[in-house]
Amino acid sequence: MLPPIFGVLFDGFAYGMLLFLLSVGQSVTLGMMNFINLAHCSFAMLGGYVTVALMTRYGWPFFATLPCAFIAAAVVSVGFERLFYRRLYRASDLDQVLLTIGIVFISVAVAAYVFGTEQKPLPLPEYLRSSFTFLGLRFAVYRLIMIAIALAITALLVLTVEYTRFGAKVRAAVDNERMARGLGIDVDRTFAVTFALGSGLAGLGGALAVEIVGLDPSFALTYLVYVLIVVSVGGLGSITGSFVAAALLGISDVAGKYYVPAIGAFLIYFVMIVLLMWRPRGLFGRR
Amino acid sequence: MTAPALATRGLAKRFGSLVVAEDIAIELPAGVRYALIGPNGAGKTTLINLMTGMLRPDAGAIFLGEGEITALPPDERVRRGLVRTYQINSLFPHLTVLESVTLVVCERRRVAQTWWRQLAAYSHEIDEAYEILAALTLGPACHRVTRELPYGQQRLLEIALALATRPKVLLLDEPAAGVPREESKDLFAAIAGLSRDITVLFIEHDMDLVFRFASRVIVMVGGRVLVEGTPAEIASDPRVRAVYLGKGHRDGALQRSLSGLAP
Amino acid sequence: MALTESFDAPKLYFSSRTRWQPVEIVFWLATLLPFALFPDYLILASQIAITALFALSLDLILGYAGIVSLGHAAFFGVGAYAAGLLSKYGWGEPITGLVVAATAAGIVGYATSFVICRFRHLALIMLTLGFGLMLEELANSAGWLTGGFDGLQGIHTWKLLGYFEFDLYGYVAYAYSLVVLFVLFVFARRLIHSPFGLSLRGIRENYVRMPAIGAPSRAHIRTIYTISAAMAGIAGALLAQTTETLSLDSLGFERSAELLVILVLGGAGRLYGGLVGAMIYMIARDRFSGIEPQYWYFWIGVLLVTVVMVLPNGILGGLAKLSARWSRP
């Protein structure tokens, strides 16, 4: 018989993988251009609503909606990047914060208008809702699949960054933007592509999140805080950092709510503050 | 034997496998004008960052006069008289020229903590700020906002900010960098006019300035001090020529000066 | 404009900045108008004055020292609950309540300032957010003290100065809030025009340069952060005392974000920006109080995007640019 802690670790790790998908794009783009994009989770929310709409209104199977969530979020993010973000790469922190908070508010209102403010359930097939018992503990199939998808994507990301030309450009731009430009790398274009990919991943994360945490218009703000914690604790521009920080945060959150429900979220913020004080650039951040 | 104004011993710094400073030992006697030259990437600005405390050394010690300053934070070193200017202007864009220098004077005189008396009452500080500006020909421009100044005047303001701290040792990082020829006359006059009480070390690529103002030259290459001597000695030193000419570095001015001074 | 050799001219520049401009005097006289013209809206007016004071406290750290804080409501809440609890447990004298609130919020501000002063950019924003959220959680869990979701009950404010009873129409409330606002405004105005104020602007303009001119920036930041926290605490206490109600949303993230919007709307770094922003925002919210909260946030979002893309210095900044264009021949 496995003690319940393994169940907690499993659920926590699954939640962490979700947070990873939501955060990795934000971490890399922040590390590259130092652009604080608080609207990142609005793209995640978009992905979630795309999945919900496709499944409930058009009867699509769940897995078919996932690429659409990714693409929709990526495409919309490109639009925002062209229209607004591009002008603010050199702007102050405050301006970036304000612009992107404004976009969050708009997205929340639009979501409420189009979809209403109630939580949206997903009509998932039975096998995805089931769980299997292993050594006395119940493990949800959905969470297992989510972990598998996240790990596959992590592998894909790491391979891309380490072994492709594009990945080398990303690494160079994150490491030293000015020098990368000096070497002839089109940093703006690399950033635009990375931004689109990161937002797409957020959209995918949003789609996967519906079953785990539910979806309503406040998603964009609620999960923003978690994403920011993952990004700042993990370190800007680091995929490894996001992975580790997300896993830590996911496990701490689930464990906290299970073992000490009274203080729950307080612990998360406290740990974040302590970690940031110890490593202001994040666990895997530069310099 | 009085201690040198500024001295370093065995200063070293590396970033991973990149060695930016190794075994730097320098002694600057008081009042002397030193030039620090070397090819790009030799570690000259890094040395200034180490001396001013913006970078922490991996090994070695730094002395200002009698006292060791290796462990002191940057603002404490400034208070003891070690000040630098920046190669790329680091000014206060929306403050006026007078406000910028007054700020420095107030910080130096430790009145910057007071929040109950109004600035207008601090006539000593304002007068001193204005005097510094006037000596650098910035008097008429003193109410202009910094970001509206022409580049040459901004460079002068860089120096004014440093002078307002009443430095004992002044580190100038390429003071003439980016200043068009027409505007550099005032700048050169300002450097020439620096008081003999101040020990000056300046990084320069412009060999005109080096030969005009420096009485001694230090050459740095690859994070190490290659050689030190008078400008004439350096110009004829075969090692220096090899570094600048042999490795194909395109420092035309130095090549011309060196070839002009060849025996 | 030629400058004479006399040294008086530079001093005149500084003293001219501290003189009260006619438009300022008009502004403060105008704040008396509600007594005569809008007697039905005095309660709203006192809410505006309180929000204006809160925004002023944020302006001190944001507009003048460059600290972007997403958690300033924490100090507002601490002050509010300090005054509220003091009143609930027997001491409802308003002015001492303000002093207690300022002290409590100031202490919390002072403690957190030691962490805040060491960071910039994202880490700083996250820390302010983290502290704010932590306090929110604490207040939530300490329901036995704070009253939790139901809010704090039993606040009763005594007569102001032993004579003026807080009436239902808000006369005393507005007069009280307005006087406190004015007094603290004058204080802030003096601070801005002192050498300390100049240092703060230096920190905002070029943080990296400050140590290189020998400035102890961290000590400066700690000081202004503490002062700002105390001021926000006084604003919170005013709210608790004048409305005799208090709930957890006084220290929530929404309140911090809203405050940022208000300050930026009016224009940060101009002292009057927070006041102007508070007026416009609160009046607009009162006008549109009927609509769904989401739609309100939609227009706030549009406003934010517009301000950032078109009016980066807020309304006052835009006006300043316009008047500069008019005054040039």
Question: Tens digits of per-residue pLDDT, B22-56?
Answer: 888 889 988 888 999 988 878 888 899 999 988 88
Closest Cβ opposite residue C191 in set B74, B115, B122:
B115
Q: Which range, A9-13, B176-180, C181-185, has the best average confidence (pLDDT)? A: C181-185
Please tell me the predicted confidence (pLDDT) of residue C126: 85
Say if the Cβ atoms of C264 and A94 lie within 8 Å: yes
Q: Quick check: C152 and C88 in contact, CB under 8 A?
A: yes
Say if the Cβ atoms of A263 and C294 lie within 8 Å: no
Q: How far apart are CA C290 and CA A26, in angstroms?
A: 37
Q: How far apart are CA C129 and CA B48, in angstroms?
A: 37
Count of beta carbons in the 10 Å neighbourhood of residue A235 = 24
Query: pLDDT band at A287, cuts 50/70/90?
Result: very low
Q: H or E segment at B46?
A: helix B44-52
Please tell me the predicted confidence (pLDDT) of residue B255: 53
Chain A residues touching C313 at Cβ < 8 A:
none
Model pLDDT for residues A220-270, shown as the tens digit of each residue:
888 888 898 898 888 888 888 899 999 998 998 888 888 887 776 787 888
Query: pLDDT band at B258, cuts 50/70/90?
Result: low
Chain C residues touching B93 at Cβ < 8 A:
205-206
Identify the sign of the CA torsion A13, A19, A25, A26. negative
* CA A262 vs CA A15, A266, C137: distances in Å: 20, 9, 10
Closest Cβ opposite residue C213 in set B104, B123, B125:
B104
Closest Cβ opposite residue A99 in set C123, C260, C308:
C308
Mean pLDDT of C164-184: 89
Query: pLDDT band at B251, cuts 50/70/90?
Result: low
Model pLDDT for residues A146-181, shown as the tens digit of each residue:
999 999 999 999 898 888 888 888 888 877 777 788
3-state helix, strand, coil in chain A (%, to 5): 75, 5, 20
Say if the Cβ atoms of B119 and C198 lie within 8 Å: yes
For testing contact with chain C, the best of B54, B72, B75 (most C CBs within 10 A)? B75
Chain C residues touching B80 at Cβ < 8 A:
none
Chain C residues touching B130 at Cβ < 8 A:
7, 10
Chain A residues touching C264 at Cβ < 8 A:
94, 98
For C311, nearest residue in chain A (alpha carbons): A95
Cβ burial C199-216 (10 Å sphere, 16+ → b, else e): bbbbbbbbeebbbbbbbb
Q: How far apart are CA A92 and CA C204, in angstroms?
A: 11
Query: pLDDT band at C274, cuts 50/70/90?
Result: very high
* CA C149 vs CA A83, B176, C144, C154: distances in Å: 41, 64, 11, 15
Say if the Cβ atoms of B114 and C213 lie within 8 Å: no
Please tell me the predicted confidence (pLDDT) of residue C28: 93
- Flag whether pLDDT at C105 surpasses 90: yes
- Which comes out higher in pLDDT, residue C328 or A156? A156
Q: Is C67 on the interface with A (CB under 8 A)?
A: no
Q: What Rg do the C-alpha atoms of chain C give, in angstroms?
A: 20
Token output for B114? 């007071």
Q: What Rg do the C-alpha atoms of chain B give, in angstroms?
A: 19
Say if the Cβ atoms of B75 and C223 lie within 8 Å: no
What's the whole-number average pLDDT of chain C? 87
Cβ burial A61-78 (10 Å sphere, 16+ → b, else e): ebeebbebbbbbbbebbb
Say if the Cβ atoms of B99 and C196 lie within 8 Å: no
Q: How far apart are CA C38 and CA A73, in angstroms?
A: 49
For residue B185, how far is the Cα from the chain centroid? Answer: 18
Q: Quick check: C108 and C236 in contact, CB under 8 A?
A: no
Least confident residue range of A79-88, B94-103, B124-133, B189-198 = B189-198
Model pLDDT for residues A245-256, shown as the tens digit of each residue:
999 989 988 888
Token output for C242? 């004048």
Q: How far apart are CA A49 and CA C4, in angstroms?
A: 69
Please tell me the predicted confidence (pLDDT) of residue B253: 54
Say if the Cβ atoms of A263 and C298 lie within 8 Å: no
Half-sphere exposure in the Cβ direction for B28 (13 Å, CA) = 33
Q: How far apart are CA A274 and CA A277, in angstroms?
A: 5
Please tell me the predicted confidence (pLDDT) of residue C8: 67
Mean pLDDT of C231-260: 90
* CA B184 vs CA A32, B139, B176, C316: distances in Å: 37, 17, 7, 39
B110: left (phi over 0), alpha (psi -120 to 50) or beta: left
Q: Quick check: A16 and A230 in contact, CB under 8 A?
A: no
Say if the Cβ atoms of C141 and A272 lie within 8 Å: no
Please tell me the predicted confidence (pLDDT) of residue A50: 93
Q: What is the largest CA-CA distance in chain A?
A: 60
Say if the Cβ atoms of C125 and A93 lie within 8 Å: yes
Token output for A228? 């920011």
The ipTM value here is 0.84
Query: pLDDT band at C220, cuts 50/70/90?
Result: very high
Q: Are strands B224-229 and B216-221 parallel, antiparallel or unpaired?
A: antiparallel
Please tell me the predicted confidence (pLDDT) of residue A169: 85
Please tell me the predicted confidence (pLDDT) of residue C149: 75
Dihedral Cα A132, A135, A137, A140, nearest 10 deg: -30
- Flag whether pLDDT at B166 surpasses 80: yes
pTM of the model: 0.86
Cβ burial A99-120 (10 Å sphere, 16+ → b, else e): bbbbbbbbbbbbbbeebeeeeb
Say if the Cβ atoms of C194 and B99 lie within 8 Å: no
Please tell me the predicted confidence (pLDDT) of residue B261: 45
- Flag whether pLDDT at C328 surpasses 50: no
Model pLDDT for residues C50-74, shown as the tens digit of each residue:
999 999 999 999 999 889 999 999 9
Please tell me the predicted confidence (pLDDT) of residue C27: 92
Say if the Cβ atoms of B108 and C214 lie within 8 Å: yes
Chain A residues touching C131 at Cβ < 8 A:
269, 273
Q: Quick check: C107 and C166 in contact, CB under 8 A?
A: no
Chain C residues touching A110 at Cβ < 8 A:
298
Q: How far apart are CA B224 and CA B135, in angstroms?
A: 37
* CB pairs < 8 Å spanning A and C: 120
Say if the Cβ atoms of C118 and A280 lie within 8 Å: yes
Q: How far apart are CA B214 and CA B217, in angstroms?
A: 7
For C210, nearest residue in chain B (alpha carbons): B75
Query: pLDDT band at B257, cuts 50/70/90?
Result: low
Q: Which range, A114-123, C3-12, C320-329, has the best average confidence (pLDDT)? A: A114-123
Q: Quick check: B13 and B50 in contact, CB under 8 A?
A: yes
- Flag whether pLDDT at C1 surpasses 70: no
Please tell me the predicted confidence (pLDDT) of residue C2: 44
Say if the Cβ atoms of C7 and B130 lie within 8 Å: yes
Q: How far apart are CA A122 and CA A150, in angstroms?
A: 20
Q: Is C292 on the interface with A (CB under 8 A)?
A: yes
Question: Please, which residues 202-261 of chain C have a Cβ atom closer than 8 Å to chain A?
Answer: 257, 260-261
3-state helix, strand, coil in chain B (%, to 5): 40, 25, 35
